[in-house]
Structure 1
């Protein structure tokens, strides 16, 4: 039977995330030690709690773990790019805040216009197809930004016109795929944990991108932004590989079930 809301588990989750972010942003071994200690305490708490805030049983599902990794990477790419674009427009092209907003806004507007259509297309053609297409577009845009961020502000404008709808389609497909994967009794906790991982990925992304820009500050500005975009491109390739692994494993599982049914 349920024992109510797990306040201790919720508090430990916040401490886990906050201490790890502080360890990253401050490059502090002390905060890293706090994070590891709080994680150990959290694992012990989950094992002894009847209704833990984080359902450990979910992490035994290999397919769900792969989707968690993809969700984390998608938000790393999204928040990382949103963090870098205004800075690049200001540092490389001297754009004012108003001009920066007008450069980025068309991508967001296009994404909002396409959202209802993308929803119908996902229902018609499937989550995995749009996840794969979205990842292909994201990798292509990040590659273009890495190579051309210093050539023209148009690279950023045109890149975000593609990037924003691709992020929206990937996120919608991912959440839909996750909801179909999870059993009904685990749906709430599973989707909640997915959202938590995504938000945490976005927080880590902005912190790490800022640290990398500072690390490369001795280089010309164009080179420093190019190197940070290369890191985001690496994240997109890792996410694409995990997604391909997930799709292949799901296809093999479905094929094995079909063979067993035929026998």
Structure 2
């Protein structure tokens, strides 16, 4: 004969157990959004999103301009963009060491200015712009990226309670990717609209792509300029946790 064991309890004990279970579920949230209550984290994420969005938009639009607007090969396009990647790789570890000594503001504000300056410079691209000038504009933009990304990635997490590091990192990575997709979509949409409008005026295809590129970088420059304003509010001292 099988014996059936079952638990019985009062309604009060059942409610208490249910409440404890619900609290444990809340405490083990898949993604805790409390990092957004920290001012430096919010600002850092916001500026990084702008920087990442304009960066991915730029590395998408600039090759289109170089190949369709200037008519250079894919290999030459890669060589034009290479110095920008190199300068980011070289500057990043140096900036990390400098950050430890002087804090975020002396790095982030100039970085945001260079980011916006690079975008505004790219709005002047034409059908006869020398490749050396294009490289210089891209270098300015990439130097700004390096000055922004390393300090803000560090600042955003250092402002958090250690228990929120994993959640803060997940939030940063997720929003970074979303911003990259949104920035690419915005700049490519502006390029397409600008090129289509120019093509309607019966200009050459290459010229239409150049006009579209100018429209795209105007959008990027406006977005990057917002980062300059936001950078002014970054502070070295983390927010005190309650």
Q: Tell me whether 1:120 sits opposite 2:90 in the alignment.
A: no
Q: Greater relative contact order: 1 or 2 (C-alpha under 8 angstroms, separation 6 or more)?
A: 2
The residue correspondences of 1:109-258 to structure 2 (distance < 5 A) are 109-152=86-129, 153-216=131-194, 217-219=196-198, 220-247=208-235
CA distance, structure 1, for counterparts of residue 192 and residue 92 of structure 2: 36
State the Cα deviation string for residues 36-74 of structure 1 (Å, max 9, x = none). Answer: xxxxxxxxxxxx743222212222333322222112111
Superposed displacement of residue 120, structure 1: 1.8
- How much is the aligned-residue C-alpha RMSD, in angstroms? 2.2
Gap runs ≥5 in structure 2 = 1-24, 199-207
* Match of residue 58 from structure 1: 35
SS in 2 for 1:245: coil
Alignment size in residue pairs: 205
SS in 1 for 2:28: coil
Structure 1 runs (4+) deviating above 6 angstroms are: none
State the Cα deviation string for residues 127-183 of structure 1 (Å, max 9, x = none). Answer: 222111111111111111112354413332111222223212211011111122111
Identify the match of residue 62 of structure 2 among 82, 85, 90.
85
CA distance, structure 1, for counterparts of residue 36 and residue 136 of structure 2: 39
Superposed displacement of residue 241, structure 1: 1.3
CA contact (8 A) 1:145 1:155 kept: no
CA distance, structure 1, for counterparts of residue 127 and residue 233 of structure 2: 35
Taking structure 2 as the reference length, the TM-score comes to 0.77
**Change beyond 3 A, Cα 1:60–1:119:** closer
Structure ranking higher in helix proportion: 1
**The 10-residue stretch of structure 1 (49-58 or 80-89) with the greater mean CA deviation from structure 2:** 49-58
Gap runs ≥5 in structure 1 = 1-47, 258-263
CA contact (8 A) 1:141 1:162 kept: yes
**The 10-residue stretch of structure 1 (209-218 or 132-141) with the greater mean CA deviation from structure 2:** 209-218
